[in-house]
């Protein structure tokens, strides 16, 4: 089958989102809260999970920034106590099963492949530390505190963004958007020449595009 993207993949720089693209973030947070609940009675993981969206989401500048450490402090846990959970969290399958295969596929074909993640630097760093399977991809991840399209403007074109949030309308002409919809039952949808939706990061799916 021919490639759908009319760009040589070797010219492309690929950026791949972390939350809900590579990492099952909801599972990560739920697992963390369950581990904390085992230490401290009174925490109901389901309730606390809801509070991540209500009490600890900073939307002051139009972006959605989860104030993770504020939430943990509110529950009475120190940063050290949270970091102590790195090992048990790292033992859980918190990445989507295709995450590493997908990254490796992109890394073989693209000029450069890097994780691009938005949010509080220390929180993003903690999550990355909890997924050691990502190896160098985690070490080399770029953590930003601005809009993804602004960050993509700094990437030399042609470039491609893999993200569960479809921001195709905000990207510049030199960018390709690949929306990773983990809830889709259709493996690959092409919306236009430079806009795709895929259901997974399996190499078999990716190789249809690039």
Binding site residues, Mg ion, CB under 5 A: 17, 19-20, 164
Minimal distance in Å, beta carbon 165 to Mg ion?
6
The continuous run of DSSP H or E covering 144 comes out as strand 142-144
* Distance between CA atoms of residues 210 and 200, nearest Å: 14
Q: Which is nearer to Mg ion, 9 or 117 (CB)?
A: 117
Q: Which is nearer to Mg ion, 110 or 115 (CB)?
A: 115
Minimal distance in Å, beta carbon 6 to Mg ion?
27
Minimal distance in Å, beta carbon 118 to Mg ion?
8
Q: Which residue has the tokens 């791949």?
A: 16
The residue whose Cβ lies closest to Mg ion is 19
For residue 141, what are the CA distances in angstroms to 18, 38, 134, 198, 207? 9, 31, 10, 22, 23
Q: Which is nearer to Mg ion, 19 or 48 (CB)?
A: 19
Q: Which is nearer to Mg ion, 20 or 71 (CB)?
A: 20
SS3 content of the chain, % helix, strand, coil (to 5): 40, 20, 40
Calculate the dihedral angle through the C-alpha atoms of 161, 91, 77, 80, rounding to the nearest 10 degrees: -90
Minimal distance in Å, beta carbon 25 to Mg ion?
7
Q: Which is nearer to Mg ion, 17 or 98 (CB)?
A: 17
Concatenate the DSSP letters of all residues of 51-101 into one string. Answer: HHHHTSEE-TTSS-EE-HHHHHHHTT--HHHHHTTHHHHHTS--B-TTHHH
Minimal distance in Å, beta carbon 133 to Mg ion?
18
């Amino acid at each position: 089958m021919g490639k759908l993207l009319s760009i040589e993949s070797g010219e492309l720089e690929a950026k791949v989102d972390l939350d809900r693209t590579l990492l099952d973030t909801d599972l990560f947070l739920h697992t963390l809260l369950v581990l904390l609940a085992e230490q401290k009675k009174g925490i109901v993981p389901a309730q606390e999970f809801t509070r991540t969206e209500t009490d600890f989401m900073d939307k002051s500048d139009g972006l959605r920034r989860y104030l993770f450490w504020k939430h943990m402090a509110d529950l009475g846990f120190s940063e050290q106590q949270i970091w102590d959970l790195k090992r048990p969290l790292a033992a859980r399958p918190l990445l989507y099963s295709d995450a590493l295969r997908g990254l490796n596929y992109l890394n073989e074909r693209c000029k450069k492949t890097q994780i691009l993640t938005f949010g509080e630097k220390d929180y993003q760093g903690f999550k990355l530390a909890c997924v050691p399977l990502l190896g160098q991809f985690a070490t080399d991840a770029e953590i930003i505190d601005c809009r993804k399209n602004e960050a993509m403007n700094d990437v030399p074109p042609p470039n491609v963004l893999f993200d569960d949030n479809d921001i195709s309308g905000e990207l510049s002409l030199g960018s390709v958007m690949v929306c990773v919809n983990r809830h889709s039952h259709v493996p690959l949808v092409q919306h236009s020449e430079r806009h795709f939706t895929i259901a997974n990061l399996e190499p078999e799916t990716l190789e249809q595009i690039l």
